[in-house]
C-alpha cells in the first residue's frame, strides 16, 4: 500500500466476544470499530463493514467477513491473557486493510483492466505488503516506545543509582512520548478529520449502549469517550509495563532490552483483560483506573459533524441489529 497519510495509533473501540453479563455490568454491545479515511469501520463478531463518504458525497458501504489470524486454532482466542495478543494483531491487520480500502476512493490513479490471474497476483502482492507494513509498524512501536525510553532513562544512572526508580521514570518517559506523538499528529488536517470520525464511532456505540435510538440527534448528544477504546488499551500497555519491569529485573543492559521485548505479550494480555472488564463494568475502582485512558481520548477524538455521524450510523446498521439489542436489553420497542 502506498502511504498517503502518517501512521495512526490504534484508536478504535475493541470488539470482544459476547459473554454472560452480571447484574452490575453495563450493557456492552460487543461492537468494535475504527476510524478510517473519511469513514468508519464497525465490527461485530466475524462481520465488519466499512462506510466511506466518497469525494462526490455518496456514502458507500462494504460488508465482509473477517477471519482471525488464528482462526484454525480458535481456542487460542478464548484463553485469558493470551487472547489479547491475537486480538491486538487482528485489530492491526483489519485496521490496515480497511484504511487501504478507504484510501482507494481518494487516489488519483488510472483504472487498469486486469485479467483474473493478474487480479489474484495483485491481491497476493497487497496482502504481502500489508503484512510487511504491520510487521514494520510493530518493530517501530517497540523501538520508539520500549527501547528508546530505556536508553533515555539509562542516561540518569550517574544521578539516580536505583534501577527501580529509573524504571519508573522510564515508564513516565514512555507515556510522555506517546502523548507527544498524539499531540504532533493531531495538528495534521487529515488526522484531525480522522479523529472526528473516531469521535463519531464512539458516539454511535455509546448511543446504542445507553438504550437510545440510533439517530443523528441522539448520537450527537452521546459521549465521544469509551472505555473499550484502543487509545485506552495503548495507555494501559504503557502503564502496566512500569509495574512489570519493576518486578522483572535483568542484570545486563542487553538482557534488560530483551526482557522489555519478551514481556510485551504478557503486558498486552493483562491490559486486554482489564480493558475487557472495564468495557462491561461500572465498578468504582475499575472506573478510577479507566480515567487516564479516557482523558487521553480527548486528544484522539474530536466532535464530529452530522455528515460524519451519518456515515457511522450506516456502518453500524450494516453489521448490527441495534433495535433488537435495545429491545432485549432496555425493554424498548424493536420498531423505533
Residue with cell 487498469: 112
Average pLDDT over residues 283-293: 91
Q: Which residue has the cell 483474473?
A: 116
Confidence of residue 10 (pLDDT cuts 50, 70, 90): very low
Which cell is 279 given?
468495557
Q: What pLDDT, on the 0 to 100 scale, is given for residue 70?
A: 77
333, with CB counted inside 10 A (0-12, 13-18, 19+), is exposed
Q: Say yes or no to pLDDT of 24 above 70.
A: no
For 183-203, write each residue's pLDDT tens digit.
Answer: 999 989 889 999 999 999 999
pLDDT band for position 335 (50/70/90)?
low
pLDDT computed for residue 25 by the predictor: 38
pLDDT of residue 263: 94
Mean pLDDT of 172-183: 94
User: Which whole number is the average pLDDT over 271-277?
Assistant: 92
> What pLDDT sits at residue 332?
65
CA distance linking residue 248 with residue 244, whole number of Å = 6
- Give the per-residue pLDDT at 137: 83
Helices (H), the chain: 83-103, 116-142, 148-154, 163-185, 189-209, 216-220, 230-247, 253-262, 264-278, 284-300, 306-319, 322-330
Question: Are the beta carbons of 230 and 141 closer than 8 angstroms?
Answer: no
pTM tops 0.85, yes or no: no
For the segment 46-57, the average pLDDT, to the nearest whole number, is 95
232-247 pLDDT, tens digit per residue, is 999 999 999 999 999 9
pLDDT at 11: 56
Mean pLDDT for the stretch of residues 137-166: 92
Q: In what order do the strands lie in the sheet with 39-44?
A: 12-13, 31-36, 39-44, 47-53, 59-65
pLDDT digits (tens, 9 = 90+) for 59-88: 999 999 998 887 777 777 778 888 888 888
Is residue 336 predicted with pLDDT exceeding 60?
no
What percentage of the chain exceeds 70 in pLDDT? 86
Mean of the pLDDT values across residues 296-315? 96
* Residue 99 to residue 97: CA distance in whole angstroms: 6
Q: Where are the domains of the chain?
A: 12-17+25-106+118-330
3-class SS string, 301-332: CCCCCHHHHHHHHHHHHHHCCHHHHHHHHHCC
Q: What is the mean pLDDT of the chain?
A: 86
Burial (Cβ within 10 Å: 0-12, 13-18, ≥19) of residue 119: exposed
Question: Containing H/E element for 221?
Answer: none
Residue 282 is predicted with a pLDDT of 84
Which pLDDT band, with edges at 50, 70 and 90, does 7 fall under? very low
Amino acid at each position: 500500500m502506498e502511504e498517503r497519510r502518517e501512521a495512526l495509533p490504534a484508536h478504535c473501540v475493541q470488539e470482544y466476544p459476547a459473554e454472560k453479563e452480571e447484574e452490575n455490568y453495563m450493557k456492552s454491545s460487543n461492537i468494535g470499530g475504527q476510524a478510517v479515511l473519511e469513514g468508519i469501520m464497525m465490527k461485530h463478531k466475524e462481520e465488519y463493514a466499512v462506510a466511506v463518504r466518497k469525494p462526490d458525497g455518496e456514502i458507500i458501504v462494504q460488508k465482509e467477513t473477517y477471519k482471525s489470524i488464528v482462526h484454525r486454532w480458535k481456542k487460542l482466542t478464548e484463553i485469558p491473557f493470551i487472547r489479547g495478543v491475537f486480538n491486538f494483531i487482528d485489530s492491526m491487520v483489519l485496521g490496515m486493510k480497511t484504511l487501504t480500502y478507504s484510501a482507494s476512493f481518494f487516489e488519483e490513479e488510472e483504472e487498469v483492466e486486469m485479467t483474473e490471474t493478474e487480479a489474484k497476483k495483485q491481491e497476493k502482492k497487497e496482502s504481502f505488503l500489508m503484512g510487511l507494513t504491520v510487521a514494520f509498524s510493530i518493530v517501530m512501536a517497540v523501538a520508539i516506545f520500549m527501547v528508546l525510553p530505556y536508553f533515555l532513562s539509562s542516561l540518569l544512572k550517574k544521578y539516580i543509582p536505583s534501577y527501580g526508580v529509573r524504571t519508573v521514570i522510564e515508564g513516565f518517559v514512555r507515556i510522555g512520548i506517546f502523548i507527544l506523538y498524539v499531540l504532533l499528529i493531531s495538528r495534521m488536517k487529515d488526522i484531525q478529520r480522522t479523529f472526528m470520525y473516531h469521535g463519531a464511532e464512539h458516539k454511535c456505540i455509546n448511543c446504542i449502549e445507553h438504550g437510545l435510538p440510533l439517530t443523528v440527534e441522539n448520537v450527537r448528544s452521546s459521549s465521544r469517550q469509551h472505555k473499550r477504546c484502543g487509545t485506552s488499551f495503548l495507555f494501559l500497555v504503557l502503564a502496566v509495563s512500569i509495574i512489570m519491569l519493576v518486578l522483572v529485573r535483568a542484570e545486563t543492559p542487553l538482557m534488560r532490552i530483551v526482557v522489555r521485548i519478551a514481556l510485551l505479550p504478557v503486558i498486552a494480555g493483562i491490559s486486554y483483560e482489564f480493558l475487557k472488564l472495564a468495557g462491561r463494568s461500572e465498578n468504582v475502582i475499575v472506573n478510577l483506573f479507566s480515567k487516564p485512558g479516557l482523558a487521553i481520548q480527548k486528544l484522539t477524538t474530536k466532535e464530529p459533524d452530522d455528515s460524519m455521524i451519518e456515515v457511522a450510523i450506516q456502518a453500524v446498521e450494516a453489521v448490527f441489529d441495534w433495535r433488537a439489542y435495545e429491545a432485549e436489553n432496555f425493554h424498548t420497542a424493536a420498531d423505533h
